[in-house]
Amino acid sequence: MSSEPHPTATDPRQEARAARTSRLEAARGELAEASGRGEGGRHAMRQYSHRMDALIQQLYADAGSLTQSVAVFALGGYGRRELCLHSDVDLLVLFAGVIGPDDERFLHAFLNPLWDLGLTIGHHVREVQEGAGLEGDNSEFLLALTDARPVVGDATLLDQFLAASDVARTNTRTLEALKALIAERHARFNDTFYQLEPDVKEAPGGLRDLFGAQTVAKLSDPALLTNGGAGTRALEDAEEFLLRVRSVLHLEAGRHHNVLSHEVQERVADRLGYAGSTPSQRVERFMGDYFRHARAIDRSLRFALKAAPAPIGKNLVKGADGVRFIDTRVAAERPETWLALFQAAIDEACPVADDALACVGQNAGRFAPEAFFPTKAHREALLHFLKPRPGLYARLSEMHDCELLGQMLPEFKAINCRVVRDFYHKYTVDEHTLLTIRNLERLANRPSRERERFGRLLNELQAPELLVLSLLYHDVGKWTDDDHTLESAKMARQMFDRLDLDAEQRAEVDFLVREHIKMSLVAFRRDTEDPEIVRQFAQFVGVEERLKMLCLMTLADVEAVSRETLTPWKEELLWRLYVDTYNHLTLTYGDEVIGSEQLLHSALVDQPPADLSAGEVASFLEGLPRRYVQLFSREAIYKHVQVSRDLAPDSVNAWLTRVDSGWELTVLTHDRPFLFSNIAGVLSSYGMDILRGFAFTKPTGLIVDMFHFTDDERFLELNDEGEAELLKTLRDVVLGRMNIAARLRGREQGAFRRRLPGFAPVVHCDNESSRRYTILEIVAEDALGLLYRVSRAMSESGCDVDLVLIGTEGRRAIDVFHLTREGVKLTPDQQLEITGNLQRVLEGRS
Amino acid sequence: MKLIKAIVRPNKVDEVKAALEKLQISGMTVTEVRGHGKQKGHTAIYRGQEYNVSLLPKMEIEVVVPDSMADDAIKAIIASARTGEIGDGRVFVIPVLESYKIRTGERES
């Protein structure tokens, strides 16, 4: 007798497979039974989803060892724990790092058994870093992600994935995609939910519409569906009803089938227990309920689409009443995110919603000032926020009213509702302070014709946010009856460390706060027609940037005293002092050189670094315009001394420095023909936009040039060797080994073609302001290579370009050249010749 | 009575005021004004462009004094407002026929 051989050993893989099949069948059986009783609603589906979770967790554990953090998330209906009998199982497998061969093996080991079980798996595999491009991902995935739920693995990976994304753009795109999908789907059903044979999932008023309404609320305002539409209770009932119907449909069809056809309606009505003496009666009652629920869903969806605020940032939306947090509970614990609320309101030109202000107001007192600026990015965000533009005053007022401003900048609390009784001020000190910022903001936004000149100054400022910061602090010292300017400056210094301002920023704010009444004293109380008064004031402010800041601060401050204080008369006095001082600073500084007497008690000379002697420093500084020491930091000056020490006659020492708003090129070399135009030409040949700069020439012929420029084409950023290449080109051009004209020609032609209609250039020759130099002021439309062309024209006319100030204001280039020819000022004929040449160059005629 | 109208440099107001107070003249009206004298202003240059500054900011001080004090007041104004440069201003003297206190209706001679 023969018998079949018994397996001598059990195959563990087969055993595991059998166990999994058995578990899945048990779970399905459970849901099928409930569905058969008409109870396949939320509870039964939750139970089934729970069983599926356990199965996936087991597969994850069995898939082998991991080389990095991985997590599996349930998406879509499964993510909502509403997995139906024959629904797809949508999964996201998220890897912490780059997916390698070992990870792919893990993936196969994890996913294959799911397919073997006969499940329809919709799987997405991503690396955390791919979150950075999430807003560009496919719209179905973005929608499914809104219901993501961790099943197994490191659940924080999803937070990291989302944190890498641009949340506002992703949410906006998700909403747009959702709206488009809804419209497209509704069109397939002729835009009506009154379908006699409806698809309970896809048709208008079906489950997809319900989830659509919930998703809109989730992305914009969780309370949205409680505030309008059919109400949450009606939606819950509709959901339960439709889920039960769908479960029966899956059970009856034995597959993924959601159409409630005439044939199946009777069986569904029976399973759901509808009463009636005939099948028709039972179906009519059942379908009547169906349409009532579909109508509730339709109503809520329409309301959600109409009323949903737009996502505009992480946890931020814009509604009819302004910008608000999506989740106030989350926001309440994250004070570092609050500034973004006010920034978004400025960006969106709307207020902050009352509930968001209430949330901030209720919680502001819980946090120390440091909690609002935990990182450099947060501190920089504050400075960015303070840039004057429409809405800043209103947002700062909101921050003050809800006590956030005083919590962030505690020194401001000292003047909260502070009253100082005098004949002039009409407002409390805190409101006066905020009004100064409103005055500045108005200058930034289409000022009146009379104020345009001040508005232009504001546009020219390199760091207008420092002016606003200074205004915020200028009167905080008024809490005491002592000299408030000194007290304000002292209090402002407490803020410097907290905001981690750099040395230049500190010096600027300290000066402005301490000296904020100086310009009004000089303008309104001194004889500003006296050149000596102007000279002293110019010496006091030092450089044009500071002059502009102080001028604007004075204007804003005086105007905020009362409506009547800043008269046109005072404005004119202020402007005239500004112009006279500006002219003094830009036109006469060449005559004010550093002499040996100034160096006697100079800290720069007396305390040099270890590798420099006082003599070396003094020798370097002597003969340079005094302005030089006001423009460069102490460290920069010592570096110049060091570099100049060993500078051979035919060498060019140049270096690039990355700065906040672009790049700086510093060049130390000995004077030679066409030097300045060659340097400017090299920068232009790389497409660099020169914004500011200075050129100094010592009597010994040593040149110190500094150019501040932006690299709009990102040449330096994108090329590892970019800096070295630019500096090499510079040396080659300056030393005559390369001709810059040919290199620049192609770029200039392109730039000319792109030029917008501009304004007539101005060339003004001044032989009076300086004892030593002829001064050429040029105001022209900024263009690539402009500086190169005009300075080249000067050199071609035989002029030496000794000192240069380069500035830009929007599209206008404002350049001041101090020239000599053979060591002396230009004759009237030479002036005529050079101005004629320059006019031709600027008008493109040569 | 005389009405003395003095057009002075803005920075000279405090000095003129102090000089008049020394003469026991304390009531005065000070107004911000703009105008020009014979020179009709001047041209200024800002960023290479000339612009005409035809109306210069000045202060107008008005005082009404008894005839007997007019000369002293005029002298005091001129002495305190003078710099010797073009643009020091002008003093105008106008007879005042009658003067009334609004509160009481009282006539002053």
Distance between CA atoms of A709 and A419, rounded to whole angstroms? 47
Is the Cβ of B18 closer than 8 Å to some Cβ of chain A?
no
Number of domains in chain A: 4
Tracing tokens 């058994």 back to the chain, one arrives at: A113
Nearest to residue A181, comparing CAs of A147, A232, A224, A215? A215
Encoding tokens for residue A701? 């012929």
Same-domain pairing of A150 and A44? yes
The end-to-end CA distance of chain B, in Å, is 7
Write down the H helix ranges in A96-166.
Answer: 101-116, 139-145, 156-163
| CATH number reported for the structural domain that contains residue A277 in this entry | 1.20.120.330
pLDDT value, residue B63: 96
Is the Cβ of B53 closer than 8 Å to some Cβ of chain A?
yes
DSSP helix/strand/coil, B61: strand
pLDDT over threshold 50, residue A2: no
Encoding tokens for residue A844? 């493109």
DSSP helix/strand/coil, A113: helix
Those residues with Cβ within 8 angstroms of residue A728's Cβ, 6 or more apart along the chain or in another chain: none
Q: Which of A165, A184, A209 is the last residue of a domain?
A: A165
Same-domain pairing of A127 and A212? no
Is residue B30 exposed (0-12), middle (13-18) or buried (19+ Cβ within 10 Å)? middle
A777, closest residue in chain B (CA to CA): B48
A601 in a domain, yes or no?
Answer: no
What residues of chain A lie within 8 A of the CB of B48, using their CB?
A: 762-764, 777-779
| CATH number reported for the structural domain that contains residue A161 in this entry | 3.30.460.10
pLDDT in tens, A569-612: 899 999 999 999 999 999 988 888 888 777 777 788 888 899 99
Is the Cβ of A526 closer than 8 Å to some Cβ of chain B?
yes
> For A396-405, A533-542, A750-759, which range has the lowest pLDDT when averaged over its residues?
A750-759
pLDDT in tens, A627-669: 898 888 889 999 999 999 888 888 999 999 998 779 999 999 9
CB contact under 8 A, A576 and B44: yes
Those residues with Cβ within 8 angstroms of residue A87's Cβ, 6 or more apart along the chain or in another chain: A77, A78, A120, A250, A256
pLDDT in tens, A694-709: 999 988 889 999 999 9
pLDDT value, residue B70: 96
Same-domain pairing of A695 and A743? yes
pLDDT in tens, A85-137: 999 999 999 999 999 999 999 999 999 999 999 899 999 999 999 998 888 88
pLDDT in tens, A208-253: 999 999 999 998 888 889 888 999 999 999 999 999 999 999 999 9
Checking B80-88 for CB contacts under 8 A at 24+ apart, the result is: B80/B12, B80/B15, B80/B16, B80/B18, B80/B19, B81/B6, B81/B8, B81/B9, B81/B12, B81/B15, B81/B16, B83/A527, B83/B9, B83/B12, B85/A529, B86/B37, B86/B39, B87/A529, B87/B9, B87/B37, B87/B39, B87/B56, B88/B8, B88/B9
B52, closest residue in chain A (CA to CA): A576
pLDDT value, residue A3: 47
CB contact under 8 A, B14 and A529: no
Is the Cβ of A575 closer than 8 Å to some Cβ of chain B?
no
The DSSP annotation for A453-514 comes to HHHHHHHH-S-HHHHHHHHHHTTGGGGSSS-HHHHHHHHHHHHHHHHT--HHHHHHHHHHHH
CB contact under 8 A, A572 and B34: yes
Nearest Cα of chain B lies from the Cα of A833 at a distance, in angstroms, of 17
Is the Cβ of A463 closer than 8 Å to some Cβ of chain B?
no
Same-domain pairing of A158 and A197? no
Please count the helices (runs of H) and the strands (runs of E) in chain A.
38, 15
What residues of chain B lie within 8 A of the CB of A567, using their CB?
A: 32
The rounded Cα A471 to chain-centroid distance in angstroms is 24
Residue A584 burial (CB count, 10 A): 21
Distance between CA atoms of A541 and A536, rounded to whole angstroms? 9
Interface predicted TM-score (ipTM) of this complex, two decimals: 0.81
Nearest Cα of chain A lies from the Cα of B50 at a distance, in angstroms, of 9
- Beta-bridge partners for A91: A74, A123
Could you tell me the domains of chain B? 2-108 (3.30.70.120)
Same-domain pairing of A159 and A192? no
Same-domain pairing of A685 and A824? yes
Nearest to B47 among A524, A526, A777 (CB): A777
What residues of chain A lie within 8 A of the CB of B32, using their CB?
A: 567, 569-570
Same-domain pairing of A157 and A177? no
A596 in a domain, yes or no?
Answer: no
CB contact under 8 A, A524 and B32: no
Please say whether the beta carbons of A457 and A571 come within 8 A. Answer: no
The rounded Cα A252 to chain-centroid distance in angstroms is 55
CB contact under 8 A, A779 and B48: yes
Tracing tokens 């509730």 back to the chain, one arrives at: A296
CB contact under 8 A, B48 and A778: yes
| pTM of the entire predicted model | 0.74
Is the Cβ of B85 closer than 8 Å to some Cβ of chain A?
yes
Those residues with Cβ within 8 angstroms of residue A104's Cβ, 6 or more apart along the chain or in another chain: none
Distance between CA atoms of B81 and B12, rounded to whole angstroms? 5
Nearest to residue A149, comparing CAs of A220, A70, A90, A107? A90
A299 in a domain, yes or no?
Answer: yes
Tracing tokens 């936004």 back to the chain, one arrives at: A445
Q: What angle do CA A258, A261, A266 make, to 5 degrees?
A: 110
What residues of chain A lie within 8 A of the CB of B44, using their CB?
A: 576, 579-580
Nearest Cα of chain B lies from the Cα of A454 at a distance, in angstroms, of 13
CB contact under 8 A, B14 and A525: yes
Checking B33-37 for CB contacts under 8 A at 24+ apart, the result is: B33/A569, B33/B7, B33/B57, B33/B58, B33/B59, B33/B60, B34/A568, B34/A569, B34/A572, B34/B58, B35/B7, B37/B86, B37/B87, B37/B89, B37/B90
Same-domain pairing of A482 and A558? yes
Is the Cβ of A582 closer than 8 Å to some Cβ of chain B?
yes
Nearest to residue A85, comparing CAs of A44, A56, A142? A44
Nearest Cα of chain A lies from the Cα of B22 at a distance, in angstroms, of 21
- Beta-bridge partners for A665: A656, A707
Same-domain pairing of A89 and A212? no
Best to test chain A binding among B8, B11, B55, B58 (most A CBs inside 10 Å): B11
Please say whether the beta carbons of A730 and A682 come within 8 A. Answer: yes
Is residue A822 exposed (0-12), middle (13-18) or buried (19+ Cβ within 10 Å)? exposed
Checking A98-104 for CB contacts under 8 A at 24+ apart, the result is: A98/A127, A98/A129, A99/A125, A99/A127, A100/A67, A102/A67, A103/A66, A103/A67, A103/A68, A103/A70
H/E stretch holding A778 reads strand A774-781
Q: Which of A587, A605, A621 is the last residue of a domain?
A: A587
Those residues with Cβ within 8 angstroms of residue A580's Cβ, 6 or more apart along the chain or in another chain: A528, A534, B44
Nearest to A529 among B32, B34, B87 (CB): B87
| Pairing state between β A70-74 and A149-153 | antiparallel
Tracing tokens 């034995």 back to the chain, one arrives at: A254
Same-domain pairing of A466 and A550? yes
Distance between CA atoms of A148 and A132, rounded to whole angstroms? 18
Best to test chain B binding among A524, A528, A569, A831 (most B CBs inside 10 Å): A569
- Give residue A582's domain range: 418-587
A42 in a domain, yes or no?
Answer: yes
Q: Number of residue pairs across A and B with CB atoms under 8 Å? A: 49
Indicate the average pLDDT of chain B: 90
Distance between CA atoms of A167 and A146, rounded to whole angstroms? 12
What residues of chain A lie within 8 A of the CB of B14, using their CB?
A: 525
A722 in a domain, yes or no?
Answer: yes
pLDDT over threshold 90, residue A817: yes
pLDDT value, residue A9: 56
Distance between CA atoms of A65 and A105, rounded to whole angstroms? 10
Please say whether the beta carbons of A555 and A453 come within 8 A. Answer: no
Tracing tokens 């036109």 back to the chain, one arrives at: A587
A313 in a domain, yes or no?
Answer: no
> For A269-273, A475-479, A523-527, which range has the lowest pLDDT when averaged over its residues?
A523-527
pLDDT in tens, A33-84: 999 999 999 999 999 999 999 999 999 999 988 889 999 999 999 999 999 9
Is the Cβ of B49 closer than 8 Å to some Cβ of chain A?
yes
CB contact under 8 A, B57 and A525: no
What secondary structure letter does DSSP report for A96? S
Is the Cβ of A777 closer than 8 Å to some Cβ of chain B?
yes
A355 in a domain, yes or no?
Answer: no
Is the Cβ of A569 closer than 8 Å to some Cβ of chain B?
yes
Residue segments in chain B with a per-residue pLDDT below the cut of 50: none
pLDDT in tens, B70-90: 999 999 999 999 999 888 999
DSSP helix/strand/coil, A5: coil
Helix axes A101-116, A42-62, angle to 10 degrees: 140
Best to test chain B binding among A532, A577, A579, A839 (most B CBs inside 10 Å): A579
Is residue A37 exposed (0-12), middle (13-18) or buried (19+ Cβ within 10 Å)? middle
What residues of chain B lie within 8 A of the CB of A766, using their CB?
A: 45
In this prediction, residues A380-393 reach a mean pLDDT of 96
Same-domain pairing of A567 and A693? no
Query: Max alpha carbon distance in chain B (Å)?
Result: 59
**Can you say whether residue A229 is alpha, beta or left, with left for phi > 0 and alpha for psi between -120 and 50 degrees?**
left
pLDDT over threshold 60, residue A376: yes
Is residue A624 exposed (0-12), middle (13-18) or buried (19+ Cβ within 10 Å)? buried
Those residues with Cβ within 8 angstroms of residue B75's Cβ, 6 or more apart along the chain or in another chain: none
Residue A730 burial (CB count, 10 A): 25
CB contact under 8 A, B10 and A573: yes
> For A15-24, A462-471, A736-745, A761-770, which range has the lowest pLDDT when averaged over its residues?
A736-745
A191 in a domain, yes or no?
Answer: yes
pLDDT over threshold 50, residue A436: yes
CB contact under 8 A, B9 and A576: no
Q: Which residues of A649-687 are buried (b: 16+ CB within 10 A; e: fewer)?
A: eeebbbebeeeeebbbbbbbbbeeebbbbbbbbbbbbbb
List the 392-451 stretch of A: residues with Cβ below 8 A of B.
none
Nearest Cα of chain A lies from the Cα of B12 at a distance, in angstroms, of 8
Distance between CA atoms of A465 and A383, rounded to whole angstroms? 6
CB contact under 8 A, A572 and B11: no
Q: Which of A587, A615, A636 is the last residue of a domain?
A: A587
Encoding tokens for residue A110? 């994890």
Distance between CA atoms of A662 and A649, rounded to whole angstroms? 30
Is residue A619 exposed (0-12), middle (13-18) or buried (19+ Cβ within 10 Å)? middle
Distance between CA atoms of A166 and A155, rounded to whole angstroms? 20
Same-domain pairing of A467 and A427? yes
CB contact under 8 A, A527 and B11: yes
Is the Cβ of A567 closer than 8 Å to some Cβ of chain B?
yes
